[in-house]
Amino acid sequence: MPAYLDHNATTPVDPRVIDAMLPYLKGPYGNPSSLHRFGRAARDGVERARAQVAALVGAQPQEIIWTSGGTEANNLALKGLCTGKPRTRLLYGATEHPAVMEAAESLGRDGWVVERIAMTADGLVDWPAFTTQCATGSVRLASLMRANNETGVVQDTARAAPLVHGAGGWLHVDATQAAGKLSLSMTDTGADLLTLSSHKLYGPKGIGALVVKAGVDLAPLLHGGAQERGLRGGTENLPAIVGFGLAAELALLELEARSAQVHALQQQLEAGLRNIPAVTIFGADAQRLANTTQFALSGWDGEALLMHLDRKGFAVSSGSACASGSGEPSHVLLAMGIDPAIAKGAVRVSFGKGNTTDEVRSFLEALQGFAKQ
C-alpha cells in the first residue's frame, strides 16, 4: 500500500462525512432560498453546518460566509476589504500562500501600496520591523497566516491585531492549515476575518468559509445573489456545505486525539531525520504544526527526491502543492533567508489520521538509502 504523507495538500474525505453528504445528493434537493418545504429542508442543512463551522472557531453562525475554499476566502478578504476604499496600504506576510500574495499584488496593480511583512530565520514575524511598518501610516488590512502550509510554523497572529488596529486596519488570518490541527478561535487569533477550507480537515473539496466579524466593512466579489447576506451570491453547494459542517464538528471533537497521534509520528520522523547527517529541518526551532515536517536532503533536488519517493510508494510534496512543478525554490524558505541551493531540496511530509509508525519507519529506511547515493 502506498503511504500518503501529503495531508497539507489535501485530506481524504472522512467516511462519516460522506455518509452525511449522501442524503443531500439523493434527498433534500431543494434550493435553500426557496420558501417551500424542499427549500426549507435544504436551508436547515445549510444552517446546521453554519453553526458547526462557527463552533470550530468560536464564532457566531451569522459570521460564516461560504466560499468555494481557501483561495476564494482569501481573495474575498483582501479584495472585499479594499474595493471602493481610498487606496492606502495593505501588508501581507512574506511566507503567505499564493492566494493571499497574488490577491494582494493584484490590488497593488490597482493603485494600493502593497508591502510584505518580513520574517525571521524561523519563519516568524519580525516584530520590530512590523511594529515600525504599522506605525508608518494608515493600513487598510494586514494578512498573516496562523500556520504555514510548507513549514508548519505557527504564527502568533494575535500579537499583530493591536498593531494593525492602531494603524486603522483589519487583520485577516489565513487559518486554512491551522483548522483541525490547532485549537482555533477568532479571539485567540486576533482575527477580524479568518479563512477556512474544508478539504484540509477531512471534508470535501471546493467548499470553505470566510469568517467575518460583525462590523467589518466588506464588499462582495460576486454580484447577483442575496445569499450569504449579499456577500457571496450563488445557490449554495448543499452537499459540500453539509459535509464541511460535519468535518468541522468532528475536527473539534477529535482535535486532541488527532494531534497526539500525528505528533508521535512527527517525533519518530524527526528523530530519524536527525540521524541522517545530510538532512536540514526547516523552522526546527519554532512552534510548528504537529503533523508537518519540511526538510532537505543535501545533494538532492526536492522534486527529484519526491519522484524517487513516489516510486517507492511514499507521497510527499516538494513545497506547497501549487508551487510544485515550478522548479523554483519555495518563496517561504527564501523569505526565511534559506540559501536557494538548500531550499531547492525541500520536501514536505504532512501526516494525517490514517498514518502509522510502520509507514514512518519504512519512509526513513528509503530516505537513508537515498542519502547514501
232 binds ligand PLP (CB under 6 A): no
What would the x/- binding string for ligand PLP be over residues 196 to 225, using CB under 6 A? -x-x--------x-----------------
Report in angstroms how near the CB of residue 74 gets to ligand PLP at its nearest. Answer: 6
Amino acid at 299: G
- Please give the full DSSP string across 137-192, using - where no structure is assigned: S-EEEEEEESB-TTT-BBP-GGGGHHHHHHTT-EEEEE-TTTBTTB---HHHHT-S
Q: Using an 8 Å Cβ cutoff, are 111 and 84 in contact?
A: no
99 binds ligand PLP (CB under 6 A): yes
The residue behind cell 460564516 is 64
Cα separation, 345 vs 319, whole angstroms: 10
Measured between its terminal Cα atoms, the distance across the chain in Å is 25
Stretches 155-163, 174-182, 300-308, 353-361: which one binds ligand PLP (CB under 6 A)? 174-182
Is 322 designated active site? yes
For residue 17, give the nearest of 240, 189, 192 by alpha carbon. Answer: 240
133 binds ligand PLP (CB under 6 A): no
What would the x/- binding string for ligand PLP be over residues 306 to 325, using CB under 6 A? ---------------x----
* Closer by beta carbon to ligand PLP, 6 or else 249: 6
Residue nearest to ligand PLP (CB): 70
Cell (9 digits) for 189: 487569533
Report in angstroms how near the CB of residue 99 gets to ligand PLP at its nearest. Answer: 5
Cα separation, 281 vs 297, whole angstroms: 9
Cα separation, 274 vs 297, whole angstroms: 11
Q: Using an 8 Å Cβ cutoff, are 298 and 276 in contact?
A: no
What would the x/- binding string for ligand PLP be over residues 62 to 81, using CB under 6 A? -------xxx--x-------
Cell (9 digits) for 309: 519517493
Taking CB under 6 A as the criterion, the residue among 95, 149, 227, 330 binding ligand PLP is: 149
Cα separation, 22 vs 18, whole angstroms: 6
176 binds ligand PLP (CB under 6 A): yes
145 binds ligand PLP (CB under 6 A): yes
Taking CB under 6 A as the criterion, the residue among 6, 14, 174, 359 binding ligand PLP is: 174
Amino acid at 370: F
Amino acid at 318: S
Using the Cα atoms of residue 145, residue 55, residue 188 and residue 130 in order, give the sign of their dihedral: positive
Report in angstroms how near the CB of residue 180 gets to ligand PLP at its nearest. Answer: 12
Say which of 222, 322, 334, 371 is annotated catalytic.
Answer: 322
Report in angstroms how near the CB of residue 211 gets to ligand PLP at its nearest. Answer: 14
The residues that are catalytic are 322
The binding site for ligand PLP (CB under 6 A) comprises: 69-71, 74, 97, 99, 145, 149, 174, 176-177, 197, 199, 208, 321
